[in-house]
Structure 1
Amino acid sequence: MAVRVYLHIGAPKTGSTYVQNVLWANQAALRTAGILLPGSAVAHDQAMADLRQARWRDAEVYWTWDRLAEQARAWPGDVIISNEGLGAATAAQAARAVASLQPAEVHVVVAGRDLWRTFPSFWQQSIRARSGWRFEEFLAAVESGRCEAFWDNHTAPRMLRRWGDLVPAQRRHLVTVPPPGARPDVLWHRFAGIMGIPAGLCAPAKPTSNASLGAAEIELLRRVNRALGDRYPLRTPYRRVVHRHLVDAVLKRRPDPLKFGVGLDRAEWVTELAEHQIKELRDYPCQIVGDLAELRPTGMRPTGSPDDLDEGQLLAAAIETIVGMLAHADSLAEQAQRRPDSAFSRLTNRAAGGVRHRLRRVTRRTD
């Protein structure tokens, strides 16, 4: 029976990919030390989608939440479950998740990041999840109170209320994301301290870029999403096709992308929101690792918006993207030619060999 289960539930774009890369790269060492990461990163993602009954989930996948929880309960030590999509679960779904892991001592771990960086990150993630709204549409929706999904799915206070209220205050943990320029291992050490991972057990991995797209690249993807209509409506097919062949293969690799963000005309509004958020978290009984001051925006500079790009800029980016996709297609064709002994070829050869063997046996009988 599990002793402690640490649920790292988000928020997205708070360094979760880096922390998870360290965890999974050291899965064997953690297990030896008595700390289990059940399944795999894919298993945690599938279980998250099942728990949330997300409309984009693949209903036939192996890893349900109940299967993941069963494996966690059976481990005679500590368990870590990490997926930034968990934070978007409803109160009822969160309650089900926590109950399914008891009688283990359940801890909830949430990370918070300053809003100046979070706003464009949330919008970009929504586009990369197949949305089609403009950046200004999103900001205006938040300003007018028409985008509760942002506060529910991307900010620490609401996640803590839904999940943290289910466990005692000493088992609620808020990690603040260090400001730009901080060493990535600072964030790792904050998480490791909460989860009781011994110092030196896990070597912090070299940061892998979960690269943000530039203004032209994300605007192209937004328009592609609009043009797709009802094609690739589910998460897995969309990732398999659009992410693999467009986002990851080409758009992420374009040199010198034009940065974008919230305009300085909204700086005062963002600052006021940040102060309100800091007060909320200061008043909420939980264990804070880091400093709430890190949630105050810093380095607010003039930036453009994808909405401001003219058609000439987008046409140039689109042509370069097509050229990149041609190179990607050529590379895939070359890989296929270099691997004639593919799984399919081996299966075909095995089947043909079986047919030849049976024919020889028949021939011997008739001689």
Structure 2
Amino acid sequence: MRVVLHVGLPKTGTTYLQALLAGQRDALRAGGVVHPFVRPGAMFEGAVEVRGSAAKFGLDPQRVGGTWQALCERARTFLEQEGGRTAVLSHEVLAGATPDQVRWALAPLAGLEVHVVVTARDLGRQAVAHWQEEVKLGSTASFADLEREQLRCDTGRDAGPDAGGRRPHFWHAQDFAAALDRWTEPLPAGRGHLVLAPPPGAPRELLWQRFARACGIDPQLVDPTVEVSANPSLGATQVALLREVNREVQRLGERGSGLDAAQRHQLVKREYAEGVLAAQGGRPARAPAELADVLGAPARRWLAEAQAAGHSLHGEPDDLAPVLAGPGEEGPDVAPPAGADPVALARGLVAAARPRGRTWPWRRSSAR
């Protein structure tokens, strides 16, 4: 009997894996595996409770309180009373947990065999995904800003959050070796597992197969080829438009008519960015080729650290080679689509937050 905590990292195929776990619960249960269900959204809310970040996501702290304990109790009941063999809890919000938060999260699982799985992906794709996610959450920064302010800054852990918060967020969020160390430090040796996301062009199901083996699950219990929801990415021009919309939403906020955290998360991120803009497609953004050493060297160092610490590896080391733009290929920072009106779109989003003002401006041609 074991409990597997899949703690991220963000943007490493977690949405795909979680959709398989949730969508094929019955098949997994028949094979002795549970992905605990308490209520819709509980896995996310439980992770938010562990991190103490309800306000960041616009959630009611009273609603999330007790959710992690309930998930752990469901896992324990399945293993100890229902004859199950494996329970899998998964959410990428857990990845950045502090040592104190890790110990708090592990406490309800005392006496069970706990394993930790971290998924990682090459830092070329991660840099672009990290930037896009920040823009979805309201940032107006260009990729050049990210490169200057974070990517080319000190990656050392001695400047991390525990030392005053000086380590750039990108490096803290992507340091898979540090995440493994924080989550496995209270556990016996041999409980950490690193799963590498396959490179572009590889069969999608390869990620599931690697993940399942890391969890000790028979990969055949799940059909990894079924259509599942994925965390949508944006084309380069769509990110450019969203940055301008964010800028206008901020200006409206400064005038007293903006969006609160919950409204911004639902309307801007979920409905507009991940719904409308993601559906438009567009040329994918690629990190510039000159970042090869900036992004390649830390990944190689972290991999060596993870293996030296005894964490098992599922994947090929070359899968961590950064995916970058080719020679002459346009960079991530481009102009918004011709004809787009960020001011009108921002005003429409703010109006949509009012009960009688849902104008849905993105259904007009100006959103394209």
TM-score by length of 1: 0.79
Q: Partners in 2 of 1:308 and 1:223 — Cα distance?
A: 12
Deviation digits for residues 281-302 of structure 1 (CA, Å, limit 9, x no counterpart):
3322111111222112256514
Greater Cα radius of gyration, structure 1 or 2: 1
Higher share of residues assigned helix: 1
1:227 Cα offset (Å): 2.7
Find the counterpart in structure 2 of residue 144 from structure 1.
Answer: 153
Q: Would the aligned equivalents of 2:4 and 2:87 in 1 still touch at CA under 8 Å? A: yes
Give the fraction of aligned pairs with identical amino acids, expressed as a percent.
31
Cα contact 1:110–1:175 (8 A) shared by 2: yes
1:282 to 307, 313, 318: 307
**For the Cα contact (< 8 Å) 2:197–2:319, is it kept in 1?**
yes
Q: Which runs of 5+ in 1 are unaligned?
A: 331-367
For residues 331-350 of structure 1, the aligned pairs below 5 Å read none
Distance 1:178 1:244 in 2: 27
Moved more, 239-248 or 97-106: 239-248
Q: How does 1:1-367 map onto structure 2 within 5 Å?
A: 3-39=1-37, 42-54=41-53, 55-57=55-57, 58=59, 59-61=61-63, 64-76=67-79, 77=84, 78-142=86-150, 143-145=152-154, 147-204=167-224, 205-206=226-227, 208-229=229-250, 230=253, 231-234=258-261, 236-255=262-281, 257-298=282-323, 300-302=325-327, 303-309=329-335, 313-318=336-341, 326=361, 328=363
Task: State the distance in 2 between where 1:291 and 1:100 align.
Answer: 34
CA drift of 1:149 comes to: 1.8
Contact 1:151 1:158 in 2 (8 A): no
State whether residues 122 and 154 of structure 1, in contact with CA within 8 Å, keep that contact through their aligned partners in structure 2.
no
The answer on whether the counterparts of 2:287 and 2:332 sit within 8 Å (CA) in structure 1 is: no
| Matched-pair contact (CA < 8 Å) for 1:267–1:300 | no
Counterpart Cα distance in 1 of 2:51 and 2:175: 18
- 1: CA distance between counterparts of 2:364 and 2:76? 45
Quick check: 2:137–2:269 contact (8 Å CA) kept in 1?
A: no
Q: In structure 2, do the counterparts of structure 1 residues 212 and 130 end up closer, same or farther at CA, with 3 Å as the change threshold? A: same
Listed one character per residue, the Cα deviations across residues 164-205 of structure 1 (whole Å, up to 9, x for unaligned) are 222223211000111111101111011112223234221112
Aligned length: 322
**Preserved CA contact (<8 Å) 1:107 1:172:** yes
Letter in 1 for 2:285: F
Backbone CA RMSD of aligned residues: 2.7
Runs of 4+ in 1 over 4 A off after TM superposition: 321-327
> What is the Cα deviation at residue 100 of structure 1?
2.0
**Residues 227-260 of structure 1: per-residue CA shift (max 9 Å, x gap):** 32354342x43232223431233201114x1322
CA distance in 1, matches of 2:209, 2:106: 25
Q: List gaps (5 residues or longer) in structure 2.
A: 155-165, 349-358
For 1:245 and 1:328, how far apart are their aligned partners in 2?
12
Q: Within 2, Cα distance between the matches of 1:315 and 1:275?
A: 41
1:305-351, Cα deviation, whole Å (9 max, x unpaired):
44343xxx4453448x9699557489xxxxxxxxxxxxxxxxxxxxx
